[in-house]
Amino acid sequence: MAEKLAHDISREFLVCQICLDDYRQPKILPCLHTFCRRCLERMVGKKTRIFCPTCRQEVSIYENGIAGLKDNFFIGKLHDVVRNATHQASSERHSTSRAVHVCGSCGAMSTTTRYRDDWDDFLCQKCVDCDRRKGASSPRRKMSTENRMEGTHLEPERISHSEHVDPDVDVVYCKSCHDVVCRKISLSKHRARLHSHVWEAAERETSEIRALLAETEKVAAAHEKKLQELNTRREVWQQQCEENIAKIEEQARRAIQTIQTERDERIKQLKRVETTKNRQLLENIAAVTVSAARVRGSCTYARETIEKGTPEEVLAVAQELKERLRQCSKLRAPSFS
């Protein structure tokens, strides 16, 4: 029980969801999900952010990388506890195998017993050796859970008295035990029970098995038919999905083409307006440049004359300077729309 519980805990809580193996150096993400350090390092590579494989939350990776994430000490401690519990259960099972048990076949007390899963009981060494000598002629193997579910590799269940059957002695079939026994046993332990010849019992069982087999094959055929219908429906659905996807992609392509055409046309119109506007601005710039040069030249000439010229030179050009300055003072900076 303890070993099974430890196995369940290990499977549910101590397995990395990336490598599907036991945690090694478990690191915990900000979203509280835990993974192996090596798995996270391979996942990150040279990136600065990743998405949690479980909840898809974005996680930023800083300078220290995965090593900078917190260690999940709880997972590490739980792993140690589960491992110790498993070892303890294994030791107890080993010590139990050396105890005195009653043989589930002959009823003898023995310390050299061996637990058999197919019998769900302990057998003494003598019965184990007898069973081993018979081999496949008298199997006592137990079906696994998978075989019981799938109906494959069917093997006979436990046979109560077949260990007493001698291959060289005449045998009969015990209807009460549903077992093959030698005639000597049938006259002693099975004396009060119903018997029949082996071949008669085999024919009867074969007939019943064939009837059940026919019914089972009908069920199998119905399952196969339903499976074929589901596969056909799945193929039709996939084809419809692919056709719808193709239609959506075609509609999107046309819409994108229309938008691109409208974009190109509007850009052309804007460039034509820009060219016209730019030409007008260049003409205005040239006109203002000429007017500004005229005004600035008159101001410079007048200033140099009154600052550096002699009285005679000032008087000689005074009338001309005043006229030019009057004309320039009446000029206004051009305004453009």
DSSP state of 142: P
| pTM summary value | 0.31
Q: How many CB atoms lie within 10 A of CB 217?
A: 10
Long-range own/partner contacts, residues 25-29 (CB < 8 A, 24 or more apart)? 25/71, 26/71, 26/72, 26/75, 26/76, 27/66, 27/69, 27/70, 27/71, 27/72, 28/69, 28/70, 28/71, 28/72, 29/57, 29/59, 29/69
Nearest to 113 by CA among 121, 104, 125: 125
Q: Which residues contact 201 (CB under 8 A, 6 or more apart)?
A: 173, 175
> pLDDT tens, 4-58?
666 667 667 788 888 888 888 898 888 888 999 889 888 888 788 888 888 888 8
User: Mapping DSSP to helix (H, G, I), strand (E, B) and coil, where does residue 258 land?
Assistant: helix
Burial of 50 (0-12, 13-18, 19+ CB in 10 A): middle
Residue 147 parent element (H or E): helix 145-150
- The domain ranges of the chain are 2-96, 214-329
pLDDT tens per residue across span 261-289: 999 999 999 999 999 999 989 988 888 88
Q: Which residue type does 333 have?
A: A
Question: What CATH topology corresponds to 2-96?
Answer: Herpes Virus-1 (3.30.40)
How high is the mean pLDDT of the chain? 76
In the chain, how long is the greatest CA-to-CA distance?
Answer: 169
* Angstrom distance (rounded) from CA 315 to CA 311: 6
* pLDDT reading at 148 higher than 50: no
Ranges 148-152, 192-196, 212-216: which has the least confidence: 148-152
